[in-house]
Amino acid sequence: MNFQLTKEQEFVRKMVREFAVNEVEPLAADIDKEHRFPKETVEKMAKYGLMGVPFPAEVGGSGGDHISYAITVEELSRVCASTGVICSAHTSLCCWPIFNYGTEEQKKKYLPDLLSGKKLGAFGLTEPNAGTDAAGQQTTAKDMGDHYLLNGAKVFITNGGYADVFVVMAMTDKSKGTRGISSFILEKGDEGFSIGKTEDKMGICASSTTELIFQNVKVPKDRLLGNVGEGFKVAMSTLDGGRIGIASQALGIAQGAFDVTVDYMKARKQFGKKLSQMQALQFEMANMKTQIEAARLLIYRAADSKDKHLPYGPQAAMAKLFAAETAMYVTTKAVQLHGGYGYTKDYPVERMMRDAKITEIYEGTSEVQKLVISADIFK
Amino acid sequence: MAFKIIVCAKQVPDTNVIKINPKTGTLIRDGVPSILNHDDANALEEALKIKDQYPDTHITVVTMGPPQAKDLLLECLAMGADEGVLVSDRAVGGSDTWATSNTLEAAIRKIGEYDLVFAGRQAIDGDTAQVGPQIAEKLHLPQVTYVEKFSIDKNLKDITVQRQLEDGYETIKLKTPCMLTAIKELNTPRYMTISGIFTAQKKPIHVWNAKDIGVDLTTVGLEASPTNVFRSFTPAPKGKGIVLEGDTEAEVSKKLLVNLKAKHVI
């Protein structure tokens, strides 16, 4: 057992911290207010290898590991949760399933551009009537001999409006339930494939969340990802990894709110004393820090298991459940410790509290995480 | 033939977080993170820009310091440098600028061939700006300090630099081999890249002691240093500044002018 980061992982934190503070933080409040996708930041992230962290150099990745990837999303989210989820959805939900389930041709075709950040990825599973009940897919893919014909719609798709490559689930055989789902690679510009409504959200306002609409989209056979009927497995294993990303986002949000609160408490005086000198408030901070550290350990352990090709699904679910609850707890307390100022947009904790909430919902709600964890207990 | 650049870099305490012991006037280094000296990062960045344009370019970063200064070399390699040299030996500890430049001169001579030696103007922990120029003198190289703009001809021999002065600048042409010292206006240093971080440990890092570089031991270290810091202190605060207030910018500007004239500043 070793709780020390490697030299490389330490450097990743140092590098992404510097990048985030210089390039991401200055935009965070504005892009949140304007609901603007930070295209320019994504280009910079691409240049420094942040869009392909946990993939080997041979397929065009940055050659890092999943702990480094978790640190990357954490450090980006520490200053801007929207930027963090752009990286997380792209890496975990689009690049990873292609890397893991793709044919050699698919990997050669898609990974170099995705991992270098020239192209952006997204993932389409959720439908209006298939959220937590992911098996209730209504999007269909009909085998037409030389191609599949896709019809249906997806909702709440992160990166939707800006992605070039999409991993999409559709029913190829309704009679088989979850074993009738298959996954496909779609490309922006495929005939009949369009982007629908952009959601107006409570938080992570600078990330793009859209509908995907498929109207008689002809998908060539070589864009089937994995085997026919394997889509549910592709989706569930992808989400296992995605949870490490979102848990890291939640951790980053919590750490960010904590850090600005420490600074605030050292400066703010009431009753002739700094807030940082008041024991009741110090104890609040001690609780917050303890939860943050516990979340971090859960996440890094899940990421380490993934790197070592050990089972990590329940670990990732526990990490995501706990980190998301920590993000909500810490940001809510951070606003409280800022008093009235914390409720205004002049201080970042207001945005952080709004951003934190989504981490309890997407990539599986907290309730879904409990399903995954309890299924493992009583298997 | 590949263009060869040597970048001199120093690992320094992060002055943003450092505290000074008010009694002794010395830096409290405990728990203070070490960073790549800012001006040295500018020197490395300019070298990397040459390499971006001419990928054959070979960049060696040389530093002197304790064993943990290897981290600084790894950082430079992760940014894109090709090779690192750490001169680490108790015998060179406590060196002043003269003794330090003796050590670095010997290390650079051991590295051998080079077309350009690039250093930062000065280190944020000592602020002397002496080591770069001393190295140039000892290596008998033409030198330009305070470089704020740099360009190199396609022949990789003719260099044009702009040298910052207090009240203007000089444009100077010189030929390689030569030595330059960089200031922050020269460029914005790049970050490490993720792939750079994961390949840095595969690049060569040489750790040399005083014997390896063949430096005369009577010219290095604390004993051999002709200068000594006999006292350092924090200057007394100058007192509160004056805040000028007014309803319009014009009004405030006027007050400022009156104040400056009264003090014979203008």
pLDDT at A156: 97
Largest CA distance in chain B: 69
Short-list B105, B66, B60, CA closest to B220:
B105
Interface test mutation site (partner A, options B14, B192, B198, B203, max chain A beta carbons within 10 A): B198
Query: What radius of gyration do chain B's Cα atoms show?
Result: 21
Of residues B63 and B263, more confidence is placed in B63
In tens, the pLDDT along B20-55 reads 887 777 777 778 888 999 999 999 999 999 999 999
| B114 in a structural domain | yes
Q: Go through chain B and tell me how many residues it has.
A: 266
| B76 in a structural domain | yes
Name the closest residue on chain B to residue A71, using Cα atoms.
B194
| B81 in a structural domain | yes
Query: What radius of gyration do chain A's Cα atoms show?
Result: 21
DSSP B92: G
| Contact yes or no for B195 and A49 at CB 8 A | yes
User: What number of other Cβ atoms are within 10 A of residue A46's Cβ?
Assistant: 18
* Helix/strand/coil (H/E/C) assignment for every residue in chain A: CCCCCCHHHHHHHHHHHHHHHHHHHHHHHHHHHHCCCCHHHHHHHHHCCCCCCCCCHHHCCCCCCHHHHHHHHHHHHHHCHHHHHHHHHHHHHHHHHHHHHCCHHHHHHHHHHHHCCCCCEEEECCECCECCCCCCCCCEEEECCCEEEEEEEEEEEECCCCCCEEEEEEECCHHHHHHHEEEEEEECCCCCEEEEEECCCCCCCCCCEEEEEEEEEEEEHHHEECCCCCHHHHHHHHHHHHHHHHHHHHHHHHHHHHHHHHHHHHHCEECCEEHHHCHHHHHHHHHHHHHHHHHHHHHHHHHHHHHCCCCCHHHHHHHHHHHHHHHHHHHHHHHHHHHHHHHCCCCHHHHHHHHHHHCCCCCCCHHHHHHHHHHHHCC
DSSP B67: G
Name the closest residue on chain A to residue B78, using Cα atoms.
A11
Structure tokens at A108: 């050669």
Q: What's the mean pLDDT in A60-67? A: 98
Measure the CA–CA gap between A17 and A346, rounded to whole angstroms. 22
What is the value of ipTM here, to two decimals? 0.94
Residues of B in contact with A11 (CB under 8 A): 74-75, 78, 192, 197, 200
B156: confidence class by pLDDT, cuts 50, 70, 90: very high
List alpha helices for chain B, DSSP H. 38-53, 70-79, 97-111, 131-138, 194-199, 210-213, 221-224, 249-262
| Contact yes or no for A11 and B197 at CB 8 A | yes
Per-residue pLDDT for B216 more than 70?
A: yes
Closest-CA distance of chain A to residue B75, Å? 8
pLDDT at A368: 95
Residues of B in contact with A14 (CB under 8 A): 75, 192
Q: Give the list of residues 6+ apart from residue B231 with CB closer than 8 angstroms, or none.
A: B25
Is B3 in a helix, a strand, or coil? coil
Q: What's the mean pLDDT in A133-143? A: 91
Q: What's the mean pLDDT in A139-143? A: 97
| B242 in a structural domain | no
Tell me what percent of the residues of chain B surpass a pLDDT of 90: 74
B9: confidence class by pLDDT, cuts 50, 70, 90: very high
Which residue matches tokens 């690992």?
A: B11
Least confident of A155-164, A293-302, B20-29, B168-177: B20-29
Per-residue pLDDT for B239 more than 90?
A: no
| Contact yes or no for B195 and A62 at CB 8 A | yes
Closest-CA distance of chain A to residue B131, Å? 28
Is A41's Cβ below 8 Å from some Cβ in B? no
Q: Give the list of residues 6+ apart from residue A71 with CB closer than 8 angstroms, or none.
A: A5, A9, A12, A13, A16, A248
| B266 in a structural domain | no
Measure the CA–CA gap between B223 and A14, rounded to whole angstroms. 37
Is B192's Cβ below 8 Å from some Cβ in A? yes
pLDDT at B263: 84
Number of domains in chain B: 1
In tens, the pLDDT along A288-323 reads 999 999 999 999 999 999 999 999 999 999 999 999
Contact indicator for A203, A354 with CB cutoff of 8 Å = yes
CB contacts < 8 Å between A and B, how many?
A: 55
Structural domain for B93, as ranges: 3-219
Least confident of A219-228, B6-15, B42-51, B222-231: B222-231
pLDDT at A304: 97
Contact indicator for A304, A66 with CB cutoff of 8 Å = yes
In tens, the pLDDT along B73-116 reads 999 999 999 999 999 999 998 889 999 999 999 999 999 999 99
Nearest to B191 among A18, A53, A68 (CB): A18
Measure the CA–CA gap between A360 and A356, rounded to whole angstroms. 8
pLDDT at B1: 67
Tell me what percent of the residues of chain A surpass a pLDDT of 90: 97
Short-list A106, A79, A8, CA closest to A49:
A8
| B250 in a structural domain | no
pLDDT at B107: 97
Helix, strand, coil percentages, rounded to 5, for chain B:
35, 25, 40
Is B78's Cβ below 8 Å from some Cβ in A? yes
The CATH number of the domain holding residue B90 is 3.40.50.620
Active site residue ranges of A: 363
| B241 in a structural domain | no
| Contact yes or no for A64 and B194 at CB 8 A | yes
pLDDT at B243: 87
Q: What's the mean pLDDT in B188-203? A: 97
Q: What's the mean pLDDT in B112-126? A: 92
pLDDT at B31: 80
| B225 in a structural domain | no
Is B123's Cβ below 8 Å from some Cβ in A? no
Q: In b/e form, how buried is each residue of B111-147, taking b as 16+ CB within 10 angstroms?
A: beebbbbbbbbbbbbbebbbbbbbbbebbebebbbbb
Contact indicator for A56, A116 with CB cutoff of 8 Å = no
pLDDT at A213: 98
> How far lies B33's CA from each of A372, B50, B75, B243, in Å?
41, 30, 14, 36
Residues of B in contact with A8 (CB under 8 A): 197-198, 200-201
A271: confidence class by pLDDT, cuts 50, 70, 90: very high
Q: What's the mean pLDDT in A190-219? A: 98
pLDDT at B262: 86
Nearest to B198 among A8, A18, A48 (CB): A8
pTM of the model: 0.92
